[in-house]
């Protein structure tokens, strides 16, 4: 490791004084102008991680659903997963090291992680369409090359595509071909195979309007759509030709504002969906005949998919376990419907994709979606082998169900949530079951819910347990919440500290919006009084 060369090169990517950043589930994210040194250093870290794992590592330059002025970076581990937690700590210490300490921190990481510095390193890089991404991507390359790593720059990719590329390369092509073309072919052929038996009345059922958030999803879907055009016609909106990335559009905007994006024309009962800026989240929606907007979020996506999988598993009858993983933010109606109507076991984890992903790996088939539309389905190796065997050997009905499951395995990007892959699975299921978007929406009715924030002097005064659904401290707060919840029908509420700022997030749901809003206000007041609230007291009517 040539530390003199690193020091020299690092001076060209100098760290601003006093800037401290934390590597979280989403990697690093902040204003683009503060990230040059971080990108260079993540190039360095990717080389060390590659040497340590003796595998190819990915670096993705994106800030997902954040505004266009922001940017960010995350590393992708060998099987296409998120970076291991212990290396998140290394990423944080490396990004925050002052210039003069950088060589020492690199040596520390190498020693702590037992990195063989003589091992070769290879890094693959992707970026989104932000104006700042190309230059920041070059800073990553500078970091990779100064430590003697080799690299392949894929240029513009969705985040899930980069995860796919990493897994393909490390599986020596067994998972798929590590090119954009390979990705398009793998997903499209699985979609065409799965929908072969779909009964469809009229073309309108198979047309989908897609809001691409003026992001990378538009470029990639435009390249891909002719591969599956016989089975599905997609019309692209907010394709980046005029609007700003994520501005008044995209999955996060639609979910948080509960209204359609700008730049898309919606007729009554037309199926529409929105991607986020790097195409790893998706939500669906439509307007009814009265012009009312209906959002179909990650909870309903998980319900549709797990119901379909359960039917196929009953058909093959081979005792494979199916589980759905949610967070405390999942609507109570979805949990009740899954458990009581569909008889599918539901498990709750702490907020954050890595917790959901980890829990989903405990099942033969694990389904997880956050309410924001980020999610996927994971198949264990044993389940894959079993399904492929049944698809070859079984009798007619069983073989047909196993072949459909085989296509579902190929359709899901099993490394991470992928808006394109999720969209194709949803469209295939709706076609096969002959469901309209309204029928899907009518599976169950969401309970009204409200989310609020309370400013506190120190968020660390609150600690939680039971997947963030119960408060352990401060004393008396959970008892106060329990008493408030008892006042309303079908109600629940929980509070949790933010991971990044001194605020406490409050979630409430009940049988009516009026009761939900009252409960949310009352719980916010309890937090303010018992957990050191600062600033203005919570008000009714928000």
Q: What is the DSSP code string of 358-378?
A: HHHTTSSEEEEE-TTS-EEEE
Q: What residues form the annotated binding site for Mg(2+)?
A: 64, 276, 278, 280
Whether residue 76 contacts residue 83, with contact meaning beta carbons closer than 8 Å, is answered with yes
Regions of the chain short of the pLDDT cut 50: 200-204
Q: Which residues of 422-444 are buried (b: 16+ CB within 10 A; e: fewer)?
A: bbbbbbbbbbbeebebeebbebb
Whether residue 515 contacts residue 489, with contact meaning beta carbons closer than 8 Å, is answered with yes
Cα–Cα distance measured from residue 52 to residue 90, given in angstroms and rounded to the nearest whole number:
13
Whether residue 57 contacts residue 87, with contact meaning beta carbons closer than 8 Å, is answered with no
Cα–Cα distance measured from residue 238 to residue 279, given in angstroms and rounded to the nearest whole number:
13
Residue 111 burial (CB < 10 Å; 0-12/13-18/19+)?
exposed
- The sheet carrying 207-211 orders its strands as 233-237, 207-211, 272-275, 282-287, 293-296
Tokens of 122: 């290879």
Tokens of 71: 């940017």
Cα–Cα distance measured from residue 235 to residue 241, given in angstroms and rounded to the nearest whole number:
14
Question: Which H or E run includes 51?
Answer: helix 36-53
Alpha helices by DSSP H, listed for 54-173, are 85-96, 102-112, 133-146, 159-170
Whether residue 196 contacts residue 257, with contact meaning beta carbons closer than 8 Å, is answered with no
Q: State the CB neighbour count (10 A cutoff) for residue 341.
A: 12
CA-nearest of 117, 187, 178 to 152 is 178
Cα–Cα distance measured from residue 33 to residue 36, given in angstroms and rounded to the nearest whole number:
7
Cα–Cα distance measured from residue 79 to residue 83, given in angstroms and rounded to the nearest whole number:
10
CA distances from 336 to 87, 447, 504 (A): 38, 11, 27
Whether residue 188 contacts residue 224, with contact meaning beta carbons closer than 8 Å, is answered with yes
Check residue 12 and report its DSSP letter: T
Tokens of 323: 């589980």
Tokens of 513: 């919006």
Check residue 305 and report its DSSP letter: H
Q: State the CB neighbour count (10 A cutoff) for residue 339.
A: 13
Cα–Cα distance measured from residue 109 to residue 107, given in angstroms and rounded to the nearest whole number:
6
Partner residues linked to 533 by β-bridges: 456
> What integer pLDDT is reported at residue 24 of this predicted model?
85
Q: Which residues of 62-93 are buried (b: 16+ CB within 10 A; e: fewer)?
A: bbbbbebebbbbbbbbbebbbbbeebbebbbb
3 state DSSP class of 529: helix
> What integer pLDDT is reported at residue 201 of this predicted model?
44
Whether residue 215 contacts residue 209, with contact meaning beta carbons closer than 8 Å, is answered with no
Cα–Cα distance measured from residue 312 to residue 403, given in angstroms and rounded to the nearest whole number:
10
Whether residue 163 contacts residue 420, with contact meaning beta carbons closer than 8 Å, is answered with no
CA dihedral 354, 358, 361, 362 (to 10 degrees): -150
Cα–Cα distance measured from residue 171 to residue 506, given in angstroms and rounded to the nearest whole number:
43
Residue 298 region by backbone torsions, left for phi larger than 0, else alpha for psi between -120 and 50, else beta: alpha
The radius of gyration of the chain from alpha carbons, rounded to an integer in Å, stands at: 24
Whether residue 350 contacts residue 387, with contact meaning beta carbons closer than 8 Å, is answered with no
Tokens of 228: 């599956």
Cα–Cα distance measured from residue 147 to residue 7, given in angstroms and rounded to the nearest whole number:
11
Cα–Cα distance measured from residue 59 to residue 265, given in angstroms and rounded to the nearest whole number:
36
CA distances from 379 to 242, 335, 347, 387, 411 (A): 40, 22, 17, 10, 12
CA-nearest of 130, 115, 97, 321 to 213 is 130
> What integer pLDDT is reported at residue 204 of this predicted model?
43
Q: 64 catalytic, yes or no?
A: yes
* Catalytic pick among 10, 50, 55, 64: 64
Partner residues linked to 211 by β-bridges: 237, 274
Q: What residues form the annotated binding site for substrate?
A: 370-372, 496-500, 505
CA-nearest of 540, 538, 490 to 510 is 490
């Amino acid at each position: 490791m040539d530390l003199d060369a690193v020091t020299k090169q690092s001076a060209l990517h100098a760290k601003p004084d006093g800037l401290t950043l934390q590597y979280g589930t989403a990697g690093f994210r902040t204003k683009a102008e503060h990230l040059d040194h971080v990108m260079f250093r993540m190039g360095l870290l990717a080389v060390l991680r590659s040497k340590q794992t003796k595998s190819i590592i990915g670096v993705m330059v994106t800030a997902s659903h954040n505004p266009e002025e922001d940017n960010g970076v995350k590393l992708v581990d060998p099987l296409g997963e998120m970076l291991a937690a212990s290396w998140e700590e290394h990423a944080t210490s490396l990004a925050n090291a002052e210039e003069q300490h950088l060589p020492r921190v690199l040596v520390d990481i190498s020693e702590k992680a037992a990195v063989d510095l003589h091992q070769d390193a290879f890094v693959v890089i992707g970026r989104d369409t932000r104006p700042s991404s190309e230059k920041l991507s070059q800073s990553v390359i500078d970091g990779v090359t100064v430590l003697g790593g080799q690299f392949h720059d894929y240029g513009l990719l969705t985040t899930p595509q980069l995860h796919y590329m990493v897994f393909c390369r490390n599986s020596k092509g067994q998972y798929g071909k590590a090119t954009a073309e390979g990705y398009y072919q793998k997903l499209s052929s699985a979609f065409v195979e799965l929908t072969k038996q779909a009964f469809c009345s009229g073309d309108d059922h198979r047309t989908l309007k897609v809001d691409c958030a003026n992001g990378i999803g538009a470029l990639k879907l435009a390249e891909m759509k002719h591969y599956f055009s016989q089975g599905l016609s997609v019309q692209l909106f907010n394709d980046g030709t005029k609007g700003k990335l994520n501005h008044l559009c995209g999955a996060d905007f639609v979910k948080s504002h509960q209204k359609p994006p700008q730049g898309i024309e919606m007729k009554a009962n037309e199926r529409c969906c929105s991607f986020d800026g790097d195409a790893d989240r998706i939500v669906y929606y439509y307007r009814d005949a009265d012009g009312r907007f209906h959002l179909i979020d990650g909870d309903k996506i998980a319900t549709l998919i797990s119901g379909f999988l359960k039917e196929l598993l009953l058909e093959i009858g081979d005792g494979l376990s199916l589980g759905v993983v949610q967070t405390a933010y999942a609507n109570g109606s979805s949990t009740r419907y899954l458990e009581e109507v569909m008889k599918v076991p539901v498990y709750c984890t702490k907020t954050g994709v890595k917790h959901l992903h980890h829990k989903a790996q405990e099942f033969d088939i694990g389904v997880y979606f956050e309410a924001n539309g980020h999610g996927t389905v994971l198949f264990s190796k044993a389940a894959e082998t079993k399904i492929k065997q049944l698809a070859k050997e079984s009798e007619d009905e069983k073989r047909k169900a196993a072949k459909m499951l085989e296509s579902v395995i190929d359709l899901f990007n099993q490394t991470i949530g992928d808006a394109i892959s999720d969209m194709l699975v949803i469209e295939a299921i709706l076609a096969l079951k002959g469901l309209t978007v309204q029928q899907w929406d009518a599976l169950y009715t969401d309970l009204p819910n409200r989310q609020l924030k309370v400013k506190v002097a120190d968020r660390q005064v609150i600690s939680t347990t039971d997947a963030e659904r119960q408060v352990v401290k401060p004393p008396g707060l959970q008892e106060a919440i329990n008493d408030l919840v008892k006042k309303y029908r079908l109600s629940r509420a929980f509070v949790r500290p933010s991971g990044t700022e001194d605020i406490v997030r409050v979630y409430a749901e009940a049988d009516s919006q009026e009761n939900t809003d009252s409960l949310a206000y009352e719980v916010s007041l309890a937090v303010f009084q018992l957990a050191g609230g600062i600033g203005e007291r919570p008000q009714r009517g928000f």
